[in-house]
Structure 1
């Protein structure tokens, strides 16, 4: 229930002028006091589980301890332990810590409303970086659009994904290893238990995430452990094949974990080994792992097939009927790839075995622009073709599915970049472009942000993405192969303009498959 204290608390959050909101919400763990933020009320740093430290490191999340006094929810809890990545598109706003299982809620300001749609955000960062504190991820615009918005932290790196025989023996068949996904499930259970007190409808919850968050959406949609916890889903740049490499088995993941433990001087597979692992300093567990070192890391494996949480690859899971039969949106950015420099040979490296054919597809005019080719090849192989692949599987089930391609680039960057890079859509979806681009933000950028934001919000409200001033968005079918395109002209549906490229990648990938 919502109560009204006689005296407002003097709080400061986003700016010195931010004043305390005069409402409190009673959660199952205790009462929390929010703070006013524009036409919304923000509740930051609410524990949804016990700190996963000490003996709780590498265990499933445990329920948070209840509190008796009113908890002032005016600041973010720590983001999860990580080595921050300087070039992150959404830089952290607080210092990381192992004590990190906190969530945040934004609600519309004013008297409590009932049965509002709920959107739950899952951040990206390669499962080694990211958090809920970046200003780009503010839920204010969603709340001001009539949504109850939730974001939360989940464990990262080896804290979030780690297998070892000692831990498996200790778990005795209970879900283990993919702790990050267990954290996400725990946060969604918290939403089911508590969101009605904030005015949200626990029967209308949409999960959405980008990159690793988009992969998490697929994991949650296909795991039986999350059944019934949400009702719509949006996977943004979440792939659709094994984006992080071939899905490893539990035995393979345990072998990797055993090697890591031995390198740290921990032998054996008994309770003493588990205790020794938990006694390792956090820095030793991280061992330099972040987005800069991720793709070269041989002793880290996110999202492995543990048999309970994750059973098979994303496409296989959907193909065998594991996916929840719910409305979904799936898409990626038009320049979503990673190309870290080098010449034209490096650009074609992923397609070296079919180089001559690839040149005809990606550069028929022979311009040899390594950056454009490299980004296109990477984007197609990592995000765009896998997204289409899984979309076709889902659509074939008769499921309500909408696909998109985000290609809007801020005005000041259009002469410098070949398209919308990975994660560049985030400030548009969150309607925080001024936060991300500052004084360089143009009026057209704000218009584009409001348009994209509205599509996402209306999908959460009624299962069909729509926006004033935007084109109609039809459900996806393989026969038409149409996508909703967001670009400098607005939003319009059209047959996929890069279908030839994606067909080529599909042939290459299928030929490599066992």
Structure 2
């Protein structure tokens, strides 16, 4: 396992790139990129200092300048994480704590100011990277945007606290939410350097999926991130989840971040900051912290001071145009009876509520197959869209129901994360075979996303109209095998039951 943790190899004054290779002058120095298919790319670009040694569990520090030309022809190391287990959202090894890099794709002529699309990968805040072939930005860049993908700290390196770390912090120093701090630091880097790639720092769209979508909603309520972006896209990004405070119990009674960190450290014989920072990185992977159960979603009081739904309900979110949506069969493979934080969501139902739910879902089988997708993703997305519309901000709700003929999973709908290759128009990275139908839907989805990045409205010539949420009663755009269709939110009666349940228990 140790070889997996080798530091990324960076060529700093390369001899091999030809003089014609594209160059970009950023705040830290000159980058030497690559050009292919008319797209210029710059990869493995540091946006912060390596968070190693004394910088482990510290806010990211600005990247240091370099002399000469820095080769930007290959991606950097992925951040420390458990094995990928076939996830196509994880990039190539090596992995390292020295992983705070980003990648840029552009076709913008010098001096132009094109929209910037800033991708935040998912993976439960435990896995993933911006270096996966799935997130290669060439095909989006050809549509007239500058694409940026990033790595950010994961797991206990990215979301962690301990009383000993708290004791050494200066008053007001940010804590625990280090992965979110990394994302914010990368957005600041984009503000300072977008023009070097023909990008417009005044037109930045953040978009992310799953845990990356949850980070998008947190950026929308984060004071340090205010003004760093101008549109937002949330793909399967939760919405009713609870953040864990640093030094007090969660609303559901779960342990604070510091209590969780203390329990982990005690199990590994560490109690001081120096002992914690001396723990081998692989130790921090065992056992993997839980995403939804409170180990990684943090209410730190500074970067995130309240839960997302609470902030949206009070109108305290960033006033930017929003696309938000889910897939039609997100968690079809997970039953609510399983012992997990997701399985516990329905535990507080009264007998009367459970009977009403079973009737709405057509019995136990339908309930088991679809209720978690609705509880975790579909109703929360509708809820946030309703709050946004009420607050007067442009909002567009979607449902992704494109199912490839070769997909081996039960064809009851589109499973979690299956929209990513369509958004990026990277069907070659699909885990199953695709066909002309899939390519038509990828063209449509990438077209809506890039148009939204350009003007804050996804609608454009040649595509079915996507109604703004709030213009009609709960209307969304559904992506289907036959193309996008505007329609009422499906299964609204189920979502109404869930809304009432959440209002009662919270």
Please state whether the residue corresponding to 1:412 is helix, strand or coil: coil
1:253-272 mapped onto 2 (5 Å cutoff): 253-267=257-271
The residue that corresponds to 1:510 in the other structure is: 503
- SS of residue paired to 1:409: coil
Deviations 1:416-447 (A, max 9, x none): 42111100000000000122156x22111111
Q: Map 1:136-175 onto structure 2 (within 5 A).
A: 136-172=134-170, 173-175=172-174
- Alpha-carbon distance in 1 for matches of 2:467, 2:408: 29
Q: Deviations over 1:327-351 (max 9, x none)?
A: 1111111111253479999999854
SS at 1:112 equivalent = coil
How far did residue 56 of structure 1 move?
0.6
Structure-2 separation of matches of 1:241 and 1:343:
20
Alignment pair present for 1:390 and 2:390? no
Are residues 258 and 32 of structure 1, via their aligned partners in 2, closer, same or farther at CA, if it must alter by over 3 Å? same
Aligned partner (choices 428, 436, 439) of residue 446 of structure 1:
439
CA contact (8 A) 2:243 2:297 kept: no
- Is 2:247 the counterpart of 1:250? yes
Contact residue 334 and residue 369 of structure 2 kept, 8 A: no
C-alpha contact (below 8 Å) 1:406/1:485 kept by paired residues: yes
Say yes or no: does 1:135 pair with 2:169: no
Aligned-partner Cα distance in 1 for 2:110–2:237: 35
For residues 481 and 258 of structure 1, do their structure 2 counterparts lie closer, same or farther at Cα, with a shift above 3 Å needed? same
Counterpart for residue 229 of structure 2: 230
Is residue 422 of structure 2 the alignment partner of residue 418 of structure 1? no
**TM-superposed deviation, 1:81:** 0.4
SS in 2 for 1:104: strand
Deviation string 1:258-277 (CA, Å, 9 cap, x unpaired) is 1112112123xxxxx11110
SS in 2 for 1:355: helix
**Aligned length, in residue pairs:** 480
Say if 2:336 and 2:343, in contact at 8 Å, map to a contact too.
no
Report Cα offsets for 1:190-211 as digits up to 9, x if no partner: 0000010110000000000000
Q: 1:443 to 1:167 in 2, by over 3 A?
A: same
- C-alpha distance in 2 between matches for 1:188 and 1:305: 20
Corresponding residue to 1:339 among 333, 339, 354? 333
> Shift of residue 34 of structure 1?
1.1
Q: Which residue, 421, 425, 447 being the options, matches 1:427?
A: 421
2:332 and 2:156 mapped to 1: Cα distance?
23
> What is the alpha-carbon distance in structure 1 between the residues aligned to residue 329 and residue 482 of structure 2?
17
Which SS does the other structure have where 2:388 is aligned?
Answer: helix
Shift of 1:235: 0.8
Q: What does 1:22-61 align with in structure 2 at a 5 Å threshold?
A: 22-61=21-60
Deviation at 1:37, TM superposition (A): 2.6
Which whole-Å deviations, capped at 9, do the CAs of 1:364-416 have from their partners, x for residues lacking one?
A: xx5x6x4x643411110011101111111111110111111111111223884
Alpha-carbon distance between aligned partners in 2 of 1:327 and 1:317, rounded to the nearest angstrom: 16
Structure 2 residues not aligned, in runs of 5+: 1-13, 249-255
Match of 1:282 in 2: 281
Task: Determine the C-alpha separation between the residues in 1 that align with 2:399 and 2:23.
Answer: 40
One of 456, 460, 480 as aligned partner of 2:453 = 460
Q: Is the 8 A contact 1:239 1:382 kept in 2?
A: yes
8 Å Cα contact 1:405/1:485 also seen in 2:
yes
Aligned partner of residue 166 in structure 2, secondary structure: helix
Partner SS for 1:413: coil
- Unmatched tracts of structure 1, length 5 or more: 1-7, 12-18, 268-272
Instruction: Give the TM-score of the pair, scaled to structure 1.
Output: 0.88
Alpha-carbon distance in structure 1 between the residues aligned to 2:234 and 2:344: 28
Give secondary structure in 1 for the equivalent of 2:295: coil
Instruction: Check whether the contact 1:451–1:468 (CA below 8 A) recurs between aligned residues.
Output: no
Aligned partners of 1:465 and 1:159: how far apart in 2? 37
Q: Choose from 481, 495, 499 the match for 2:474.
A: 481
The CA distance in 1 between the partners of 2:345 and 2:159, in whole Å, is 27
Deviations 1:435-487 (A, max 9, x none): 2156x221111111011000000000001002444211121118510011101
Aligned counterpart for 2:313 among listed residues 316, 319, 328: 319
Other structure's SS at 1:234 match: strand
